[in-house]
C-alpha cells in the first residue's frame, strides 16, 4: 500500500503530444514521477494524473527538536483533504467539491534531491526551523511510498547519500557550505567557499542540513550517445 499526500502542485500531462521532448542528461539523472489520485468526497469520482519532478520539498514536523527524514517523507506523502478555497472542480458534479488527494512515487529518479523546508511562518513572523533531521547515509528506502511496491525491485528504490548542502545562520544572514562524498576514497569533504577540507563521517549529520542528494543503488548510467 502506498502512502498518500498533500495538495498537488500544478500537473503537466507528459503523455500529451505537446509535452514530448528529447531526453537530456538532466532528465535521465534527476527526473522522477509522482502519481496523484483524487476522490470527490461527494460522489466518489476518482481521477488520476502524473507529474514529473526533479526535487521534492519536504515539510518538517513542527514543535519538536529532532525528527527523522522518514518523518518528513511521510508528511509529504500523507493523505490530504482539499476543502474551502482549495476545493477541486468535480467533472461529475459540475461543482467544486471537497476532495481527498493521495500521492505516490511512480518512478524513483537516479539522483534524488530532497529540499528540507526550513523557512516558514510562525504567526506573522518568518522563521527558520532548526529541527535536527536525522537522515540515513547508507540506505534510504523509498519502498513505502511507491505506487506499487510489489512491481518494483526493492534494490532500485534504495539510495545512498553523496552530498549535503548546509545553511548556517538565519533568514537575514546565512552561509551555505557543501559536504560531498568521494566514492573512490570513501571520505567526506567540506566545500566552504574556496576552502576544501576532509571531514569525519560524524560531521555530516547536523541541524544545518538544507538539501540532501542521494544516488540510487545500483546506479544506472544513462544511455546517452557521447556520454
Q: Which of 111-115, 123-127, 129-133 has the lowest mean pLDDT?
A: 123-127
Q: Note the pTM of the prediction, 2 decimals.
A: 0.83
Band (34; pLDDT cuts 50, 70, 90): very high
Average pLDDT estimate for 50-76: 95
Among candidate residues 176, 170, 210, the one with its CA nearest the CA of residue 191: 176
Residue 82 CB contacts under 8 Å (≥ 6 apart), including other chains = 7, 88, 98, 99, 100, 101
Average pLDDT estimate for 125-129: 86
pLDDT of 16 strictly over 60:
no
Strand partners, 105: 34, 146
Coil vs helix vs strand at 67: strand
Asked if 149 and 2 count as a contact pair (C-beta separation under 8 A), the reply is yes
Q: Which of 17-26, 38-47, 103-112, 200-209 has the lowest mean pLDDT?
A: 17-26
What pLDDT was estimated at residue 180? 97
User: How many angstroms separate the CA atoms of 78 and 156, rounded?
Assistant: 22
Is pLDDT larger for residue 180 or for residue 63? 180
pLDDT in tens, 171-219: 888 999 999 999 889 999 999 999 999 999 999 999 999 999 999 876 6
Rg of the chain over Cα atoms, rounded to whole angstroms, equals: 20
Q: Which stretches of 41-192 are assigned E, i.e. beta strand?
A: 46-53, 56-58, 66-68, 80-82, 88-89, 96-97, 99-107, 111-116, 119-122, 125-128, 132-134, 140-141, 158-169, 174-182, 187-192
Amino acid at each position: 500500500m502506498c502512502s498518500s499526500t498533500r495538495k498537488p502542485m500544478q500537473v503537466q500531462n507528459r503523455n500529451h503530444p505537446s509535452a514530448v521532448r528529447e531526453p537530456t542528461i538532466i532528465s535521465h539523472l534527476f527526473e522522477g514521477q509522482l502519481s496523484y489520485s483524487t476522490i470527490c468526497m461527494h460522489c466518489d469520482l476518482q481521477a488520476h494524473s502524473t507529474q514529473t519532478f526533479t526535487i521534492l520539498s519536504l515539510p518538517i514536523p513542527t514543535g519538536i527538536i529532532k525528527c527523522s527524514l522518514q518523518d518528513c517523507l511521510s508528511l509529504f506523502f500523507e493523505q490530504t483533504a482539499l476543502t474551502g478555497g482549495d476545493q477541486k472542480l468535480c467533472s461529475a458534479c459540475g461543482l467544486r467539491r471537497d476532495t481527498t488527494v493521495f500521492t505516490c512515487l511512480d518512478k524513483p529518479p537516479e539522483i534524488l534531491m530532497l529540499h528540507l523546508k526550513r523557512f516558514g511562518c510562525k504567526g506573522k513572523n518568518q522563521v527558520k526551523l532548526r529541527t535536527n533531521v536525522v537522515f540515513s547515509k547508507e540506505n534510504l528506502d523509498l519502498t513505502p511510498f511507491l505506487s506499487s511496491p510489489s512491481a518494483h525491485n526493492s534494490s532500485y528504490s534504495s539510495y545512498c547519500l553523496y552530498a549535503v548542502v548546509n545553511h548556517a545562520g538565519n533568514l537575514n544572514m546565512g552561509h551555505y557550505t557543501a559536504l560531498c562524498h568521494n566514492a573512490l576514497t570513501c571520505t567526506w569533504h567540506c566545500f566552504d567557499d574556496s576552502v576544501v577540507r576532509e571531514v569525519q563521517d560524524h560531521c555530516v549529520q547536523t541541524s544545518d542540513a538544507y538539501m540532501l542528494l542521494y544516488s540510487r543503488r545500483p546506479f544506472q548510467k544513462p544511455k546517452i550517445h557521447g556520454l
